[in-house]
Every structure is written in C-alpha cells, then in structure tokens.
Structure 1
C-alpha cells in the first residue's frame, strides 16, 4: 500500500490519487496528515505538499486539488520526454510536474465548465480543448504520466513489485437504426420513395422495393455478422440501441415493433446491451426515464450502460440525470470528429462533480475513435495506419481501447468498404503480445 502524506486530505486529492494509483497502477493508496504515521510506514510512501519534510519521495503540490469550485488557472504546457505536461514543479520534486493536479484537470473535464465555443449540436469541440491546442490529444497522457510516476517510485523503492495490467478492448456497436428500409412504416417508406424519385436515386429506389418485398437483405442488418464476430472474441461487445421517439435528430424504429424487440433480445443473448438515449432525452429527465424503463422491459433486467445521442454531453446535468436513474456506466465521452483521448485517459474513471465536490458512482468509459473519423483517410492503408497508431498508444500503457462502430459500418455500402478489415485489426490487437 502507498501512503501519501499531505497537509489536507481533500475529496479531489483522494479521487485523483485513487485513479492513478489504484485504477491505473493497481496499488492501494491511503492518506495521512500526521508526520509520525508517515515516518512509521515501512512500505511505499510519498509526501504531497508544499515543502519537503526530509529526503523522502516528494511531489510539490499544486493548489487545484485543495480548492473548491472553478478558478481561473494559468496553464503552461511543456515538453516532457516523448509527451507533454503542465503544472511544472521545479527541481526539488521527484518528478518535474504535478501529474496528479494535471490529471484531475483533464479527468474532471474542468475546461468544459469554462466558457467555450460549441458546435451546431451544442457539443464541446475538440479544437477548444487544451489537448488539441497543445498537440497531445492523440496520447493517453494521464496513463503515461502515471507510468512515469511509477518508474520514479520504483527507483526509490526497488524491492516493491508492481502488479501488471493487461491491454483490453471494449468494442461499441452503436445502433441509431437497425434497418435502412425495413420496419419504417407506410408513411416513412412512402416519403422515402418520393425522395428517391425526386433525387433520381433509382438504385436506391430499386433496393428499397427489393428489401420491402423480402427479395433482398436490408443493408443495415449486419447483426448476424457482428454476433458471429462476438462468438470468436474474448472481449465483450457492447451494443447501444436507440428506442426513443422519431424526431428531426433520431430516425430509429418504433420500439413497440415485435421484430425490433426480438432483435434486441437476440443480440443480448450474446453481447452486452445498453441504451442509446435520444437527442431530446439529453435535456429531459422524464424522457430519459421513460426510455430507460422501456429498455429494461425489453431486456428484462436492470440497465447498466448508456450512450448519449450525437455524443452530446451537457456537464454536469447529463451525468447527474444518469446517476439519479442509477445507470452505472456511460460511453459518451469522446469526439466524433477527432481521434484521441478527450479526458486524457484510456482507463475508465468515475465522474467527479465539480459543483458538489464529490466522486460519483458513474463510471466513464471514454471512446477513442469513431468509424466516421476514419473516413477522413482516403485509402484503406491510411485508415489502417491511423487505427494502428491509436491502438499502439493504448497498448503502451496497457489501457482499455474503446472504438465506436455502427451496425451499418459492416454493410456493403461503398463508403464503408474495408471497415470489416479495420474491425478485425482491433479484435486481433487483443490477441497479440
């Protein structure tokens, strides 16, 4: 066990030390404000305060972990070997940066509470983040810093044996609509036909009728393929089905249709299933509650995980609503248009409520790449290079890689050519040493 001596044991301090020491490095941590208890401890120990006591392992503390609420913080990002960091410590500290304060800033999403420009859906933009502006969005810096801290600690306590963590994968299959043409109802199908005629999309029109009359397979119906992939993989896939009402933003299937309900139940026999909340559920607790209840009725079990429509988050309200409904995990944290680590970590972490100054029970699994962003790469070779790069970043710190694919990504639609191969690369990465 690691003992941390500090002048004040604050909720922020406990939160971030537990993430870095316990969740990333696998060692238990406890805290003391008593010098006698610190001296008497005969295993791993560090002092985290303003002044070094003697010649112990010392990290000079930044004020952010002892503050409350939001403050105007001056951040100066500097190079640190092959990565970057902020909250520079000076020479007396065992490591040159206060990695705990910097990690707290990223994990709590401190910057998302500050004034910023939003996109047309009201989302926090990657380009507004400190990580993007300073060129470290592509790295899981919190995990990298944790390993740098571990190396320094290891040299100070060479006899201590750290546990080994394994690289893992959590493939997400997002299902905004399970079918392209099927189960859309008479009015929506008629509207689609009219649209195809006016746009002169004759091939689309032909395919639509072939699918509706059962003469062709619906292109979005790739569930048999994905379930077969699940059977071959040791990593559990997590599906998110949209069951909210039809709207400008959500074009799903009526959740009362028996065929759709059967599909969700069938997938749940092999994979984990969560709720993809509708766009309007993001701002409405009653709509969210209704959708959660509906999904629980279909699954006949308690809903564990959610993912918000359009990857939109309103902090802290979005997460507070999930907590109130006792949803334990969320997979919304990430960027639709950028590859990388929105919260700086590839280890699941708990949501810290900056207004109430508490660690909540909601576990955040931030995703690192969405299929859409890979479309920016013209060739399949470039897509593979981009994907392998982000996988290697996670592997180097034995983190959890979370990619988001959609059911239609596995279709034969031209723009998604080669994506089955990309998905195979992800699955195979978990079986390599």
Structure 2
C-alpha cells in the first residue's frame, strides 16, 4: 500500500498545509497530497482523508474549522467549538496569545495562560487519535516510530556569585555586607575570593558529570547582555567567562540567552548573538529568552532575522505544563504573515524557579510533579525538556539537587 495519503479539501490554504505537515509528515511520517477535485479524490486508489464539512460514508472524515481557511486573526474564538485539527492549529500557532486580554499577562508581559487545560500534550494525543482512525481503515499503512527523548537545559544568568567580578562590583558587594552586618555572607565571599571555598554558583562540573554519566543532551543558554536591572551577568568580555564558555562547549551545546533589554531594542539581540559567536567561534543557532519573555510574533520574528533556528522559550514562568499543547518540537507558524517559518520551537514543561518560588513546592513535591510530567511525555513518545539554572543548586537551593537528579530516573 502507498505511504501517501490523498487529502480532499474544498480550499487549500497555508494553514491547512501547515497543520497536516505536522500531523501527517512530521508526527506520523506519512506523505500526503491535497486536491480540491472531488472526482480525482473519489477515483483515487490512494488512502484518503476527507477534510471538509460534507460527510462521506465510505471515507475518513475530519471536519474543517473556519480558522484554517481564513487569513485574519480573530479577536476571539470559542476553543470548545473547534474540531480536532482546528484545535491542533490553535495550540501550535499560539492563537490564544494573540487575542488574550491583558489580565492574562503579568507585569513583564509574560503569558499567564487562560482557562485551557495545560496539563496534557493535547496535540500529541489528538495526533495519535487521528492515526488510530487512519489505521482502522488502512491497517497496512505504517506510521513512524516516535522515540522518547530528554533534553536538560540550563540558563546561565550569572556564571559566578563572587568570582571574576569587576573591582567596583566586588568591593561594593563586600562593603554592603559589612554595613548590613551579614558576617556569614562576608565570610563566604572572603573564602571564595581566596579560593578556600568553591563559588556557590559554580556547579558546572556537577552538571557535566551527570550529563556524561547518563548520556543526556545538555544545553546552556548564556546571558551576554549589558548590565541592567534585570540583566546582572558578568561583562561579555570577561576572560574567565569566555574560557568557561569554551570549555563547556566541548561537552554541551551553547545557545544565546537574549537579555531582558533586548525585548525593547532589537539591535541588542544582534549584538549579543555576535558576542557569543566571537567567543565560541561558531554560528549561534539556539536561544531561550531571559525571564521567559516571549511576545508573539515579535520575539520569534527577531530570532529569524538573526538566523536563530531553534528556540526553547515556549513554556510558563508561573506554572508547569504544555503551553503549546505538545511535547513535540515543531515549526513556528507566523499568524501575522500566514506562513510556516524555519524556526523550530522546543517546548519545555517545568522550570526550577516555577516549582520552588511560584508553586511553593517542597523538593519532594517537585520530584513527584516532574516524575508525572516525564511519564506523561513518555506516554506520547515526546521530548522531555526542563529548565534548571546552574546557580540554583547550592545554599537555599541545595536540597533541589535531589530534584534535579530525579529527572534522570526512569
């Protein structure tokens, strides 16, 4: 039997091509071609899907929603009125983020979510349901075998707490501790600066050992913006930091962590990417926004202009779960241009700061949540991506090493 499906639709649009590219080609490994000629469809010997609002007794019928045949972005949509393919498009295109009210965004303009259920990868589940319909009618048709994958990602907002700062920052920090009487912190800083104690944010060897022991793909996103209220990293020209980045690039991937400021000044993104390229002497293709600041479509459009091909920002700062309704990396569709783009989105499902600071979970509770999320993704053979800051594994975060280590368990 042919591994190509013939799709009948009364109107061929970019949105229809995009969503079936995902469902059939990318997710299922099946080729397809479209036709608006009912006679061609009726007479074809190929496996067939009727994607229209006329029901055909002998065929697989999937209903089409208006959002797939129009070009505009509506001000509101009743999600529950959508059919399965329309729901997939709604999730992947992030349609809801274009027309959500202001109360669905926080003070940093980050999407808080709506009343939708983000606890399940609904798009992946729907894709398997569609596969089941196809398989029931065409049992000889074979879908590709999806394989569970895990990617551990780390945002480096600052490489060290005390080491390798400028003299001004170093002595200013020491002075503040003495004035406030923080003798314990003063002693710690003194010991670190005199190399009697390891810098508390220097957990890179710990992360390296775990990654290599378990053979898990690992990515570090490095903040190289200029110092500001929300960007408190080391200067990008810091030689020790440059040395560290080069060393880590020998065993992990390195991506850019665009600064908070770069969201308001597009030229800064280009500058920061160029800085990382100078340090690594290689093209920068991976990114995740600092503060999870993702504003559609502007953020992704700017990444494409700067030739970023993979972005890992798709997730929540305030909650865990599936912001785009999937655990499958996918191509971004720009609703404003009505085009599929070359940018691949890698959704993450949980961040350390979310678990501890926003959800107020204990380490034990966080372990259970991550275990559940990982199993949910295994059930659909998706990609399990977490976000842990390398600076959040010591001091008041020390117990969270158990949480981090738990994600390596089956």
TM-score (normalizing by structure 1): 0.89
Residue 95 of structure 1 corresponds to none
Q: What is residue 321 of structure 2 aligned with on the other side?
A: 340
1:29 is the counterpart of 2:32: yes
- Once residues 77 and 262 of structure 2 are traced to their aligned partners in structure 1, the CA distance between those partners, rounded to angstroms, is 36
Equivalent residues, number: 403
1:54 Cα deviation after fit: 4.4
Show the counterpart of 1:64: 67
Matches of 2:400 and 2:45 in 1, distance apart?
53
C-alpha distance in 2 between matches for 1:76 and 1:162: 29
Alpha-carbon distance in 2 for matches of 1:289, 1:124: 24
How far off is 1:377 after superposition?
4.8
1:101-112 superposed matches below 5 A: 101-112=86-97
Contact 1:116/1:124, CA 8 A, preserved across alignment: no
The verdict on how the C-alpha distance between 1:172 and 1:50 changes in structure 2, with shifts beyond 3 A counting, is same
- Deviation larger for 35-44 or 397-406: 35-44
1:15 maps to which residue?
A: 18
Shift of 1:40: 4.1
SS, match of residue 25 in structure 2 = helix
Aligned partner of 2:7 in structure 1 is 4
Q: CA deviation at 1:60?
A: 1.7
Matching residue of 1:49: 52
Aligned pair in 2 of structure 1 residues 378, 330: CA closer, same or farther (>3 Å)?
closer
Q: Can you give the 5+ residue segments of structure 1 that lack an aligned partner in the other structure? A: 78-85, 88-97
- Alignment match of 1:314 (pick from 295, 315, 318): 295
Which of these residues, 403, 407, 410, is aligned with residue 426 of structure 1?
Answer: 407
1:248, CA displacement in angstroms?
A: 0.6
**Separation of aligned partners in 1, 2:79 and 2:88:** 14
Q: Could you tell me which residue of structure 1 aligns to residue 335 of structure 2?
A: 354
Partner residue in 2 for 1:200: 181
Alpha-carbon distance in structure 2 between the residues aligned to 1:344 and 1:11: 21
Instruction: Tell me if the contact between 1:353 and 1:360 (Cα under 8 Å) persists in the aligned partners.
Output: yes
Q: How far apart are the structure 2 equivalents of 1:26 and 1:377? A: 41
Instruction: Indicate the RMSD between aligned Cα atoms, in angstroms.
Output: 1.6
User: Contact conserved, 2:231 with 2:259, CA < 8 A, in 1?
Assistant: yes
- 2:107 aligns with one of 120, 128, 134: 120
**Deviations along 1:383-408, whole A, 9 cap, x unmatched?**
22111111111111100111000112
Alpha-carbon offset, residue 106 of structure 1: 1.3
Does the 8 A contact of 1:283 with 1:318 survive in 2?
A: no
Matched, 1:369 2:346: no
**Structure 1 residue 326 and structure 2 residue 307: aligned?**
yes
Distance (whole Å) between structure 2 residues aligned to residue 351 and residue 173 of structure 1: 23
- Is residue 385 of structure 1 aligned with residue 399 of structure 2? no
Cα contact 2:363–2:402 (8 A) shared by 1: no
Deviation at 1:175, TM superposition (A): 0.4
Contact preservation (8 Å) 1:26, 1:165: no
Deviations 1:98-121 (CA, angstroms, capped at 9, x unpaired): 211111111111111114222111
Instruction: Indicate the residue corresponding to 1:398 in structure 2.
Output: 381
Q: Return the match for 2:41 from 10, 14, 38.
A: 38
User: How far apart are 1:43 and its partner, in Å?
Assistant: 3.9
Q: 1:83 is matched with which residue?
A: none
Specify the alignment match of 1:266 in structure 2. 247
Q: Partner residue of 2:215? A: 234
**2:78 equivalent in structure 1:** 75
- 1:410 to 2:393 alignment: yes
CA deviations 1:360-401 (Å, max 9, x no partner) are 111111111001122135433212211111111111110011
Q: Greater shift after overlay, 17-26 or 262-271?
A: 17-26
8 Å contact 2:79–2:87 — kept in the other structure? Answer: no
After the TM superposition, which residues 289-308 of structure 1 pair with which residues of structure 2 at under 5 Å, given as runs? 289-308=270-289
Shift of 1:73: 4.2
Q: Tell me, in whole angstroms, the C-alpha distance in 1 between the residues paired with 2:389 and 2:351.
A: 9
Q: C-alpha separation between the residues in 2 aligned to 1:152 and 1:115?
A: 33
| Paired residues of 1:292 and 1:303 also in contact (CA < 8 A) | yes
TM-score, length basis structure 2: 0.94
